[in-house]
A and B are shown apart, each in its own frame.
Chain A
């Protein structure tokens, strides 16, 4: 399960993830992190059984947590199943099945590479 963390600027300096890992014992994988002067966005992969525990732990520390259930959506009228998204996705979200592009949304970390890489402009990130 993927969780998107929205981190306020004031708490960026605090070792948030480390403290949550120590508290929950969850094997957390940081898949993407972008932090600038005004905000931070972090995408974590969390084992399904510890998901709500990890979510609670972050929320207690003042972090907004959004589960990424459908991170990327595709306009089926626009997609021509070319495959331009397949090899540029860092997590292997897209693959061919009998030359139709199918998406395993659970793998998406919302990096956006496919959105600009899609010649038909068929992909959009679901921003929460």
Chain B
């Protein structure tokens, strides 16, 4: 098997004799020369992608003010940056919307403004400590004023991405763009043939520490990204790079209508053709990479997949869904992805970009499990009032009346000596008893067919019981039928009001 070493390839890059091609050119070369021939002929294949990468951000160090401040909250052009890392380190996330301009301006826009040489307005609020007495400050900064501006992106360069369409009757505005009703269009994302991870899906070269092209700067792979799921073909990368060296040609702020800000980022990875395995994986074509077309008309996590389509089909501009020709278009830019791959090719050819060997492997098994939702729908326990007064059936009605008045509630659960629920008495029951001249004991007038709900049941069940029996409150019991709280229709309406 034909092989060569990374040192050999770097030597050729240094002396300007390396043969570099883009991942778009490689498939034909492998077809013509075969794998062994391609290894002999080609030293480096450059890849590139340019699309929305929401999971991106930058660590900014402001330097210390005088008097010093320990920043708890910071706004950069009215976009909040996370201040919970030491005194003057901030993390600005790409999708954070601004406080004054809403989603039309966000963290990504601050980054683009900084890279474009614009000045940004900084407001910082401190906590006030003996060592950091300053409480508040304002300043105007440019990118060069920060000590460091280090981009750290938790999830970038998706190997491939699900395409999106919409079966519902209304236009949807999503992070996959405008999706027209009744399968009006399909949007897809990803560079297909040029996608860095699709050109090395088994991580034969790409690993921890691999040098990459990150928005014009030389950055590095930190490791696998969040939601890294290589076993299903959805590998991701966590990457870092110096934002001061980036170019706004390859870093662009975006806004998805009614979704919010995002960041378009150009990432390229040069892959050395060390062996036939790498020659083979970089010979991948659009037709070899397929993605499910998901129905975003279903507003649940597990959206149905309508069909599987290759990037070749998606890029053709039209695919068939349920017998209908549906127009497709991309959200990522293949034009700029090509530019990334070409720029990287030139940099390698000129000896400006050397390839690095990984210091660790990317994991071949990742995790992109659904969220464990312990409070998907609140349980009765989460909303009930624990403050409950119970009575025994042998107390006098007058005593129950006094308890109701002093406690400002109108339901009293009646319990046995062991605390088990036996019945309920309401202000109305007492009024009736008094009006009828029957002044007696609680046990004589209480409602024995009492509805109750268990603390570990979902609130939907309590709501349904209220509705079916036209009641507004009921005791909450534990597994032994002992009263531990009360739930009222007020608890549920408050919950609904908060959700809005």
- List residues of A whose CB falls within 8 A of some B CB: 80-88, 95-96, 99-100, 113, 116-117, 119-121
Contacts and interface: CB of A to CB of B under 8 A. Distances in A.
Contacts of A99: 333-335, 338
B296 to A, nearest CB: 14
Given A80-B264, A84-B178, A84-B187, A119 B331 contact: yes
A88 B178 contact: yes
6 closest Cβ pairs, A-B complex:
A86-B329, A119-B254, A87-B185, A87-B329, A117-B178, A81-B335
B331 A82 contact: yes
Contact of A116 (B173, B187, B252): B173
Contacts of A100: 335
Interface of B: 50-52, 104, 173, 177-178, 180, 184-187, 252, 254-257, 262, 264, 317, 327-336, 338
A87 B328 contact: yes
B8 to A, nearest CB: 34
Say what secondary structure dominates the interface of chain A. Answer: loop
30 contacts: A80-B50, A80-B264, A80-B335, A82-B331, A83-B333, A84-B177, A84-B178, A84-B187, A84-B330, A85-B329, A86-B317, A86-B327, A86-B330, A87-B186, A88-B177, A88-B180, A88-B184, A88-B185, A95-B317, A96-B329, A99-B338, A113-B178, A116-B173, A116-B257, A117-B257, A119-B52, A119-B177, A119-B255, A120-B264, A121-B255
Contacts of B335: 80-81, 99-100
B330 A83 contact: yes
B20 to A, nearest CB: 21
A90 to B, nearest CB: 9
Nearest to B185: A87
A80 B329 contact: no
A36 to B, nearest CB: 20
Nearest to A85: B329
Say what secondary structure dominates the interface of chain B. Answer: strand
Nearest to B104: A121
A88 B51 CA distance: 18
Nearest to B258: A116
A84 B329 contact: yes
A117 B177 contact: yes
A84 B333 CA distance: 9
A85 B201 CA distance: 31
Contacts of B252: 80, 120
Contacts of B173: 116
Contacts of A88: 177-178, 180, 184-185, 329
Nearest to B165: A87
A85 B97 CA distance: 23
Given A82-B51, A83-B333, 17 more contacts: A82-B330, A82-B331, A83-B331, A87-B187, A87-B327, A88-B178, A88-B329, A95-B317, A96-B317, A99-B333, A99-B338, A100-B335, A116-B257, A117-B177, A117-B178, A119-B255, A119-B256
